[in-house]
Each structure stands twice: as C-alpha cells, then as structure tokens.
Amino acid sequence: MIKARTARGVVGVAGLLVVAELVGRSGLIDPKLLPRVSTVLKAAFELIVDPEFLFYLSGTLTVWGGGLLLAVLLGTPAGLVLGSLPKADLAVRPLIEFMRPIPSVVLLPLVTLLMAWDHGIKMTIVVYAAIWPILINTMYGLRDVDPVAKETLRSFGFGRLAVLARVSLPSAAPFVLTGVRIAASIGLIVTVSAELLAGGVDGIGTYMVRAQSGFRTDLVLAATVWTGLLGLVANALLMRVHRWAFRWHVVKSGGLA
Amino acid sequence: MLDVVNLRHTYGEGPKAHQALGGIDLKVSEGELVCVVGPSGAGKSTLLRSIAGLIKPTEGHIRIRDTEITDTPGDLAVVFQDYSRSLFPWMTVEENVALPLRRRGQDRKARRAAAGEALNAVGLAGATGKYPWELSGGMQQRVAIARAIAYRPSLMLMDEPFGSVDAQTREDLEDLVLQVRKDHRMTILLITHDIDESVYLGDRVVVLSKAPARVAGELPVNLPFPRDQIATRELPAFVHLRAEVGRLVRGKEHPAAPATEEENLADAEDTSRSGERPAAG
C-alpha cells in the first residue's frame, strides 16, 4: 500500500514537471524570465556539487538546526511546566495567545539592533517561530495523559514526580515529537525568509538574492528546489523517528497525522 | 486487616452536591475474598478509590493492618476494569509487570524474575516481550493481574475487573482469581455489579444500597472449594444465595409468604449477568 502511495506521488510530481516543461517549450513564456523545468533541474544538479552553493547551504542548515534545537530545549520544559500546573497555564495563556500570531520576521529589526552575530539573529527569529507548536503540543500531550494510567501508578504508591516521569512524559512524548515536526517546517520557512530579508554572509536566501540580482532566475529556482527538498527530507526523517520510537502510539491512534 | 468505619463521601458542594457514600462499615480479614455488589452508580468505585487513597473521603476512617490510610498506602494493588488504559502501551508486558516493583527497592534482576514468575502464574509466560496492545483483552487483564500479584500487596483491590471481556474469558479470569488467591494467599476486595460473579468468587458478599450507599446486607458464601463454573452454579445453595443477593441489591424485603423456587430463580435470573439494573443516580 505504501509502495502504491509512493508510486502515485511520483506520477503526480513527474506529470506536473512534464506539463511545466511543455508550457516552457511552447514559446508562450520567455525562458529568460521563467526558465524551463529542464534548465532548472540541470542547474539544481550542478548546484549541489558547487562548493560556493554548499557554503551558502551550510549557513541555512546551521541557523535552522540550531534554532530548532534551541526551540526544543526551551519549548519542551516550558510546556511540561505549563501542562502540569493549570494555574501557571492560566496566567501565561493570554501572553502566549498574543505573542503566537506575531510573524517572527517582524522582530528582525529589533533583534538586529540587540545582537551583532548574524547567525544568532536569525536563530532567534527561528526560535520565536518554532517554539509555539512544540510548547503547545507538549502542553496538550500532558493534559491528554490517561487519568487511569496515572491512577494506576499512584495506587502502587508512586509520588507525583514518579508519575510525571514514568507515565506523563512517555505518554506525551509522541505529541512533543509531532510538535517538533511542525516546528521543523516552520523553522525552515523562517530561516530562508530571514535570509531573504536580512541577507548575511551565507544561507540559501542570501544566495537567491544574489542570483536574482544577476538575473539568474534558473539559479533562484534551483535553490528553491533544494529548499523544498530539505523540508521534505526533514519531515520524512522525523516521521520515521516517530514510527520507530512510538510504534505503540501509531498503533493506538490508528495512524500518523 | 482492612477496616472501614463510617465512610462517607460527597462529591461537589452546595445544591449540586452528590453524596455517594452514606456511612459504610466494612471489614475484610486476612486471606479473605470479599465481593462488593451494588446497583450502578451506588458508589462502589468511590469506596474502592477511597481505600486505594486515590480520593480523600469526606468523613470516616480506613485502616489497613491498623494503620490509618491518609494517602496512597503503597502496599496494595488495584486491578482496574479498563486494562487497556491501565497498562502502559510504551512498555512491554514484562516491563509493565516489573515497574511497580521499583517501589519495593528491588534491583533489575529481581524485578525481572518476579515479573516472569507472576506472568507464569497467569499463563502468559510466552508474552513477556510483547506489547499489551498486541494481546487480546482477556490477556491484557491477565497482565494487569500479574502486575498485582508480582507486587505482593497486602490487599488486592479489583474494580469490575471483568466488565470489559466476553463471557468465556470472564469465566476463565474468575477461575484465575480463585487460583491466584489460593496460590498466593491473597486478601482480595472485588467490586462487581454482577450478582452471580459475587457469589461464585466470594467468601462473603457485601451488598451496597443505591447512593448514598450504605451496607444493605452481608451474606457469607459457604460454597465448597474448589469452585467450578458449572457444578458450583447449579448447587441449590448457589441459586439460593444469588437470589438473596439479588433481593438485597434491588432493595426488596423478603416476601411475606415464602417464594416458590421458580420465583426465586426468575428474580435471580433477571438481576444477574448482563441484566442492567435501573440506574440509580
């Protein structure tokens, strides 16, 4: 079944590429403005062995990975505290609901003033955007812990902390990981956006800005292809981790969202 | 060994308050298997949860071996009706059974040995490495029972333990409880709404009235051991007892004229097994 699914996905992507290529070759569009699919794909293959592009790419990976790691390190404990202390949750909730919808890139000017480290600035922006799904999924995961499971351990005489560590945490862990997976996608979007807006010495976004100023639309699109693939690979990896580590959850909930 | 004195519990306050327990007195001796029956919503679970220390009763005393219970006693094991929620799905069967033994200060090796032994006792020696959700409902409840046995509690509480399994499995599990009790000399307080089951398993049946629950009556069960699903249930004494319990559960006094055997049977029949009593509160 999974194979059939993959096959259909491949057919869909290939179909779209073929159509786009045909439109490109029909002469309706000036290839200088919008290069053909084949041109873009060729450029993409060349980019991945181009040390200059790899240098730019490494910048994106650093900011994205670092930001995501920080978001996990901050968001999970905060979610644990807020998820297990309803009063603290009530106190902080309005603040969270206010801060959450603020697009993190609007903080760029402020953070740029406060910080001189290029990667640090972007990471801060990534953390701001990526922390919410982790925080909120952790909170809901904790609140969703089965009361019967908690009572079972309590009835054997285990204390609050033991119940938290042995029942609540393992039970909430799949939700946390789902939060991380959502945060990973958001993190990539924000990383590249910040690079496009703020520039810097490296990063895919910076590369795109430079390619665009040289009218190399093919390179801009080729870099876009790699950005998309990065997101795809990260998501697939985290899904795989989820299936492997939380098989019990996948079975119990009847699938992976 | 268990001594419940004038236990009262009220949920909520003000006009919405619901008094679940209206003064329960109950004693369980060492090694005894006592079944508590009562209509749905009678506060049976409230009683059990109070004894387990999971809720603080409004009034009254609970003593286990002369020690007043104020928190979770740490020396009892509860088998819940909902095995699929009570077992931890991220742990193997063996890990589930071994986990509470951490409280006993046993090292890893001793925990594994005790878990293996308990699983063996419930006929699940081959399932140690499996996950609970890979097992059938009846097998999952066996795991929960093994977990309770391994802990060697001074008192085992069972809350409608067979309410979620099919009839055949239910009979197997009832016999398993009798076996376990005999082999491990356990003291068991079992809560059920099933009158037949209470008579079949118990040394004594305690009947609760509807909420606010009080003890409506107590009947010693002098049926011979070993009990047998077919032979025991056809004994006249069994039929009589379940009719008696049935009357108490329904809150009926003895009829003025002695009832015929037929009426006795009919009455017992419809309050037993799957027969749901009218909900009381």
The rounded average pLDDT for each run of 10 residues, N- to C-terminus, in chain B (281 residues) is 90 86 91 90 87 91 88 88 92 94 90 92 90 92 93 92 88 91 91 92 92 87 89 91 89 53 45 41 37
Handedness of CA B61, B66, B71, B77 (dihedral sign): negative
Q: Alpha helices of chain B — where are they, by DSSP H? A: 44-51, 83-86, 93-98, 108-121, 137-150, 167-184, 195-201, 236-250, 261-271
Bigger pLDDT: A207 vs A25: A207
Q: At what angle do helices A217-245 and A169-198 cross, to 10 degrees?
A: 170
Bigger pLDDT: A238 vs A257: A238
Distance from CA of B85 to the nearest CA of A (A): 6
Question: Which of A145, A146, A154, A156 to substitute to test the interface with B, most B CBs within 10 Å?
Answer: A156
Q: What pLDDT does A137 receive?
A: 95
Query: How is chain A split into domains, by residue range?
Result: 1-26+35-47, 53-252
Distance from CA of B19 to the nearest CA of A (A): 22
CB within 8 Å: A171 and B90: yes
Paired residues of B26 in beta bridges: B4
pLDDT, mean of residues A192-218: 91
What percent of chain A stands above pLDDT 70?
Answer: 98
Look over chain A and give the mean of its residue pLDDT values, rounded to a whole number. 91
Q: What pLDDT does A139 receive?
A: 93
Q: What pLDDT does A86 receive?
A: 86
Instruction: Answer yes or no: is pLDDT of A233 > 90.
Output: yes
Contact B118, B146 (CB under 8 A): yes
Bigger pLDDT: B253 vs A109: A109
Return the CATH number of the domain spanning residue range A53-252.
Answer: 1.10.3720.10
Of 2.40.50, 1.20.120, 3.40.50, 1.10.357, the CATH number of B1-28+43-73+192-281 is 3.40.50
**Pairs of residues, one from chain A and one from chain B, whose beta carbons lie less than 8 Å apart:** 62
Using CB atoms, which residue from B76, B85, B157 is nearest to A149?
B85
Contacts of A168 (CB under 8 A, 6+ apart): A84, A142, A145, A150
Q: What pLDDT does A116 receive?
A: 87
Contact A194, B115 (CB under 8 A): no
ipTM over 0.85: no
Q: What pLDDT does B35 receive?
A: 95
Q: What pLDDT does A1 receive?
A: 58
Contacts of A191 (CB under 8 A, 6+ apart): A60, A63, A64, A67, A122, A126, A203, A205
Dist. CA B53–CA B76, nearest whole Å: 10
DSSP A143-175: HTS-HHHHHHHHHTT--HHHHIIIIIHHHHHHH
CB within 8 Å: B54 and A158: no
Dist. CA B164–CA B84, nearest whole Å: 10
Distance from CA of B10 to the nearest CA of A (A): 20
Strands (E), A22-135: none
CB within 8 Å: A248 and B78: no
Q: What pLDDT does A256 receive?
A: 59
What size, in residues, is chain A? 257
Using CB atoms, which residue from B53, B72, B88 is nearest to A167?
B88
pLDDT, mean of residues A211-238: 93
Question: Which of B49, B79, B90 to substitute to test the interface with A, most A CBs within 10 Å?
Answer: B90
Q: Which residue has the tokens 């603020």?
A: A102
For residue range A44-102, what is the model confidence (pLDDT) as tens digits? 999 999 999 999 999 999 999 999 999 999 999 999 999 988 899 899 999 999 999 99
Contacts of A99 (CB under 8 A, 6+ apart): none
SS3 content of chain B, % helix, strand, coil (to 5): 40, 20, 40
Determine the straight-line distance between the first and last CA of chain B, rounded to whole angstroms: 31
